[in-house]
Amino acid sequence: PIPVIIDCDTGVDDALALLFAVRHPGLDLRAVTCVAGNTDVDGVVRNTLTVLEVAGAPEIPVARGAARPLIEPSRSARHVHGDDGMGDIGLPAPTRVPSDLGAVDLLRREILASPRPVTLIPTAPLTNIALLLRTHPEVTDHIERIVFMGGAVACGNATAVAEFNVWHDPEAAAILLTAGVPITMYGLDVFQRVVVPGADVRALRESAEPGARLAGDLLAHRPAAPDVDGDPEAGGIGDAGAVCAVVDPAGIATRLLPVEVSLAPGPTRGQTLVDRRPRPGESEIHDGLREQSLVDVALEVDVDRFVKLYLETVAGV
Ligand code: BDR
Ligand code: CA
């Protein structure tokens, strides 16, 4: 199995990602680290511990990370993920506490201890990852790839042009993009497309398996679930798509493109500028392209393939 660590802000769709990752036999989920984003970091830790318990994986280490972005104050996504960050579906409190190590230290320990280079899957603002890369740059040699949910080629969600995870901590995202590690950007363009039909959501909710049932409840209560073709019960898998892309990279079509984060104050802050010009422009010809800013950007996703992969894994159908 591929050794992976998920850095998340659980979060309805982060929970969908965790439920998939613990069940897929091709993944070895070595740790989960938490960061402020969809809700405050203590809420994220609680939600993450509970989801792993329901999924029957209470042994996976969970660590608390950054309580706020590098520079900005925290801004909640309550309007999307509910007061508890989990769609207020009445999840029980966890029975265990997080690791004594903080997120950066747990990430370092697990990355260096892994017999094979680790794939990091951030599905949240990139604060923990930026702190890790700056504090312990030696880990980069032990990272296979970072597949992150964030950014957008076309349209934003937090603002007209910025996607939430990058917008919440743009400086952290900029540190990630210039780290010199192979990066795949699973952005909004593909993120929003992978939607489970209502009939499958209903079947999940009736499952005898607690993890599958929770996935069904979350999909059903996923606020802002797109009303696809008059199917109001359909629910997007969101962050879980980034984990699908690690298991099944052929399910997305990517192009290696220069990506930069807008750090300027004002309406473009947090935008990912993806340069799709067929030839570099004048300035790049003069300055030379910075190799580390080239990112594998997901431009297309095979929706049916990822929906099938998700359902087969989580429901065992
Ligand atoms: C991202 O923001 C969060 O609300 C979701 O969990 C996802 O990671 C989408 O912009
Ligand atoms: Ca998330």
Q: What is the pLDDT of residue 292?
A: 42
Kindly report, residue by residue over 232-284, the tens digit of the pLDDT: 889 999 999 999 999 999 999 999 999 999 999 999 999 999 999 987 665 55
* Closest ligand 1 atom to Cα of 38: 4
In angstroms, the CA 257 to CA 259 distance is 6
pLDDT tops 90 at residue 218: yes
Kindly report, residue by residue over 114-160, the tens digit of the pLDDT: 999 999 999 999 999 999 999 999 999 999 999 999 999 999 999 99
* Closest ligand 1 atom to Cα of 164: 10
Q: What is the pLDDT of residue 288?
A: 54
Q: What is the pLDDT of residue 121?
A: 99
- How many C-beta atoms surround the C-beta of residue 142 within 10 A? 16
Kindly report, residue by residue over 28-77, the tens digit of the pLDDT: 999 999 999 999 999 999 999 999 999 999 999 999 999 999 998 888 77
| Position 291 confidence tier, pLDDT thresholds 50, 70, 90 | very low
Closest CA to 62 of 97, 41, 101, 32: 32
Question: Which ligand is in closest contact with the Cα of 48?
Answer: 2
| Position 222 confidence tier, pLDDT thresholds 50, 70, 90 | confident
Q: Is the CB of 119 under 6 A from ligand 1?
A: no
Section 215-241 average pLDDT: 84
Nearest CA to ligand 1 atom 2: 164
* Closest ligand 1 atom to Cα of 157: 10
Q: Which residue type, as a one-letter code, is found at position 15?
A: A
Q: What is the pLDDT of residue 290?
A: 46
Q: What is the pLDDT of residue 313?
A: 98
- How many C-beta atoms surround the C-beta of residue 137 within 10 A? 11
**Bigger pLDDT: 142 vs 226:** 142
Q: What is the pLDDT of residue 233?
A: 87
Mean pLDDT of all residues in the chain? 93
Above pLDDT 70, what percent of the chain?
93
Closest CA to 111 of 49, 28, 189, 26: 28
- How many C-beta atoms surround the C-beta of residue 249 within 10 A? 15
Question: Which ligand is in closest contact with the Cα of 156?
Answer: 1
In angstroms, the CA 237 to CA 310 distance is 8
Section 291-308 average pLDDT: 90
Q: What is the pTM of this model?
A: 0.95
User: Which residues are close to ligand 2, an ion, with C-beta < 5 A?
Assistant: 9, 11, 14, 123-124, 239
Nearest CA to ligand 1 atom 10: 164
Q: Is the CB of 167 under 6 A from ligand 1?
A: no
Interface confidence: ipTM more than 0.90:
yes
Section 207-223 average pLDDT: 91
Task: Catalogue the E-assigned strands of the chain.
Answer: 2-8, 27-34, 62-64, 118-122, 143-149, 183-186, 195-196, 235-236, 252-261, 272-274, 294-301
